[in-house]
């Protein structure tokens, strides 16, 4: 008869702790200490009364999104700085990580999509006028990618740190601006108007730059680093649009055509964002390829 049948412990289902594994954290830093889990896991404070089961899902969904946005900003700032220093290879490494973050952000909409209209209706009154539209970090990502809008800075007049961060990015070159400056330093005929412009203004299509990219795409092996960077940027925008569209879908299935908690027109407002583009020449050049 085996040990399990005799009431003993089957050693195949038990893993003994190794001697070297730390057990006493009175004086040593633990996993929870390093990650400040006491602070992190106490940040979920539902407001519904009586308590609604699904409010915790809504809070965690948006808090984790903000954490991923924080990392995305960190990586995009670094990529922008590396391009400024002509360090293309590590800049591309940063962008590769950003793409994985984007996939994670898009995939997690499926968790929020389990919230039915009836369930959301129970917690919506407690959101008051708060809305994802008011995410300062989301606006930082947009500014870093080139979608500048000075009016957005005023939305954060109540938060001096957020307002200052956005105002700084508003007046600085975007990731795309730094890429164009990099191209110019490499001898590409980037139109001068793109290299010395008002950084606070939204970027707009330049036909001369389309010509430059047409040359790159005509002979990719002669311009491999630039060609690869162009495609990385297209990936970033494609991922961003997928995130926007998935957001729209989840909002539509949850509130239909209702106005948003922040006062927007909801689905219609989100749909208009699908027409925005960060890197217009990289899409326009596709019309010319093989034409």
Q: Annotated binding site for substrate, which residues?
A: 58-62, 120, 124, 261
3-state secondary structure of 274: helix
Binding residues: 58-62, 120, 124, 247, 261
- Residue partners of 23: CB distance under 8 A and separation at least 6: 17
The tokens for 94 are 């940063």
Tell me how many degrees the CA angle 97-102-105 measures, rounded to the nearest 5: 130
Binding residues for heme: 247
Cα–Cα dist 58/119, whole Å: 11
Bond prior to 50 in cis (omega within 30° of 0): yes
Cα–Cα dist 220/206, whole Å: 21
Cβ atoms 55, 46 nearer than 8 A: yes
Cβ atoms 269, 131 nearer than 8 A: no
DSSP 23-70: ---SSS--HHHHHTHHHHTT------SS--TTHHHHHHHHHHHHHHHH
3-state secondary structure of 284: helix
The tokens for 206 are 């330049």
Q: Tell me the CA distances in angstroms from 252 to 7, 91, 125, one per residue in order.
A: 56, 37, 18
């Amino acid at each position: 008869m085996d040990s399990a049948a005799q009431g003993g412990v089957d050693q195949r289902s038990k893993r003994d702790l190794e001697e070297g594994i730390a057990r006493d954290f009175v004086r040593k830093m633990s996993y929870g200490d390093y990650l400040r889990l006491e602070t992190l896991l106490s940040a979920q404070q539902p407001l519904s009364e009586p308590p609604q089961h699904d409010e915790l899902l809504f809070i965690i969904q948006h808090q984790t999104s903000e954490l991923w946005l924080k990392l995305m900003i960190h990586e995009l700032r670094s990529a922008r700085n590396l391009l400024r220093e002509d360090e293309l290879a590590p800049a591309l490494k940063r962008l590769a990580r950003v793409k994985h973050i984007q996939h994670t952000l898009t995939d997690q909409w499926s968790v929020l999509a389990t919230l039915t209209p009836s369930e959301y209706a129970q917690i919506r009154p407690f959101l008051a006028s708060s809305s994802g539209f008011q995410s300062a970090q989301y606006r930082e990502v947009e500014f870093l990618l080139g979608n500048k809008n000075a009016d957005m800075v005023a939305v954060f007049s109540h938060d001096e740190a957020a307002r200052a961060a956005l105002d700084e990015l508003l007046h600085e070159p975007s990731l795309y601006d730094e890429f164009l400056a990099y191209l110019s330093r490499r001898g590409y005929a980037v139109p001068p108007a793109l290299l010395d412009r008002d950084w606070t203004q939204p970027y707009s299509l330049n036909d001369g730059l389309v010509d430059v990219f047409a040359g790159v795409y005509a002979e990719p092996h002669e311009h491999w680093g630039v060609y690869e960077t162009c495609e990385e940027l297209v990936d970033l925008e494609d991922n961003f649009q997928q995130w926007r569209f998935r957001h729209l879908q989840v909002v539509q299935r949850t509130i239909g055509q209702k106005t948003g908690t922040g006062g927007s027109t909801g689905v219609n407002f989100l749909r208009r964002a699908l027409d925005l583009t960060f890197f217009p020449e990289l899409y326009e050049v596709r019309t010319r390829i093989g034409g």
